[in-house]
Structure 1
Amino acid sequence: MIGFTDNYQDRSTHEGYQFEFFCERCGNGYTSTFRRSAVNFGGKLLRMGGDLIGGEWGRRASELGWDANWMRDGTRGPAWDKALNGAVEEIRPHFHQCHRCGEWVCGQVCWNDQRGVCVNCAPKLDQEIAGIQARAQVEQLNDKIRQVDWTEGTNYGTTAVGRCPSCANDTGGGKYCQHCGTPLAAAPEAKSFCGQCGTKLGAGAMFCTGCGSATS
């Protein structure tokens, strides 16, 4: 019987056998040593000999060579089983199967030696403490920063204008454009009311809606 795992991929080619094994938690892994296929090598020799000999015997040798390749590609027989078994035994020391959740994990990162299970089932306490402390620092910084008044000098009582209607640059968030000095619609003193009738003017209005007077 061959020990079988579900965290591998077959990377075998026409030349031989090779397998990749992955940690089912972090995705890291290892590749087994490449094992050349004896069947494929023998098939090559037969084809080469057939080409050199020529004639009926040469043709038959070449056919046997191609048959050997076909057998190598079309079946997962004893040679493939032996190669997989060797790869499993080679890579096994780098992995552990958690008997709590059944996952195959790498010993270097995702295995908790003290608990005998994976870190998903029993996190490493030093890493957990470090993570909790970092999250607590961020939360405390958020609380302290919120206690500071960051709105001083910011005109938040009127509609903000992000792009200047005159020069099309960023306004800077003030009452006047930082690039060209154009009064912005968000500034309270910038054409807020009609000078003739006192009607409140809309942003960018050229004429008063109350009396029809020009705003400029």
Structure 2
Amino acid sequence: MAGMVPFTNNYSDHSTREGYQFEFNCMRCGNGYSSSFQHSVTGFGGKLLKMGGDLLGGEVGSKASQLGWDAEWMRDGLRGSTRDKALAKAAEEMQVYFTQCHRCGQWVCQQVCWNHERGLCTSCAPRLDQEIAGMQASAQVNQLHERINQVDWTRDVNYRDQAVGRCPSCMNETGGGKFCQHCGTPLAAAPQQQKRFCGNCGTPTQPGAMFCAECGTSTA
């Protein structure tokens, strides 16, 4: 179909009043390529004529000014068709760098994201050598993680003395000892009293109790 532009939504327009230029991007990895700058025929000439109209006076100046505005009007008036031709030319230039995947419809770069063996993009048909290499690396990391976890790396670490907290009295760092290094407050927890049980029925007895509360047997 005449005038058909194969690229639709993976390009950006960087055209100016001096000419046309487009940037095409891979829809998978984002790599971009810029087309050659196409100078506008009316852009430069129209600017010169417009400058002549501003610099020259009288009838000559009026004619030059009118020609300048006519050139600018022609450029704006033909911008649609002219731009389409410039885009089609840029798309033809960029065609060698991109291929459309017939499975997902994405335009992808041939250098990175196209699987030439499968005739599809690497999203639809990943390259097996790359996938195998990635799985091998992932397996190595997992195996190293398992082996490292099997080793006792804390055997020589005095974790009790190295534990650092805040003193409940002065709120400074304790230093990890039994007493606060700033105010000397004891930090070791008070030893819990061993539980006692009735020798007759086995019921736990309260500290200081002389008799079992369940059977009345003396706990002395």
TM-score, structure 1 normalization: 0.72
Kept in 2, the 8 Å contact 1:163–1:170? The answer is yes
1-side partners of 2:120 and 2:15: how far apart?
Answer: 32
**What residue number does 1:155 align with?**
159
Specify the code of the residue in structure 1 equivalent to 2:91. Answer: V
**What residue number does 1:40 align with?**
43
**What residue number does 1:58 align with?**
61
2:4 to 2, 5, 11: 2
1:104 paired with 2:133, answer: no
Q: 1:119 to 1:164 in 2, by over 3 A?
A: farther
Kept in 2, the 8 Å contact 1:17–1:34? The answer is yes
1:14 to 12, 17, 25: 17
1:84 paired with 2:87, answer: yes
Aligned length: 187
Kept in 2, the 8 Å contact 1:175–1:183? The answer is no
Larger Rg: 1 or 2?
Answer: 2
Specify the code of the residue in structure 1 equivalent to 2:159. Answer: N
Question: 1:190-216 deviations in whole A, cap 9, x for unaligned?
Answer: 44339xxx9xxxxxxxxxxxxxxxxxx
2-side partners of 1:99 and 1:46: how far apart?
Answer: 50
1-side partners of 2:46 and 2:63: how far apart?
Answer: 12
Segment drifting more, 137-146 vs 65-74: 65-74
Structure 2 unmatched runs, 5+: 194-220
Q: 1:137 to 1:104 in 2, by over 3 A?
A: same
Structure 1 unmatched runs, 5+: 199-216
**Residue 42 of structure 1: how far off its partner (Å):** 2.1
Question: 1:157-207 deviations in whole A, cap 9, x for unaligned?
Answer: x9x535789896795xx5479xx966999xxx844339xxx9xxxxxxxxx
Segment drifting more, 118-127 vs 70-79: 70-79
Specify the code of the residue in structure 2 equivalent to 1:72. Answer: R
1:114 paired with 2:117, answer: yes
**Residue 146 of structure 1: how far off its partner (Å):** 1.4
1-side partners of 2:184 and 2:109: how far apart?
Answer: 61
Kept in 1, the 8 Å contact 2:164–2:173? The answer is no
2-side partners of 1:105 and 1:7: how far apart?
Answer: 9
Q: 1:20 to 1:163 in 2, by over 3 A?
A: farther
TM-score, structure 2 normalization: 0.71
1:193 paired with 2:190, answer: yes
Q: 3-state SS of the aligned residue for 2:27?
A: coil
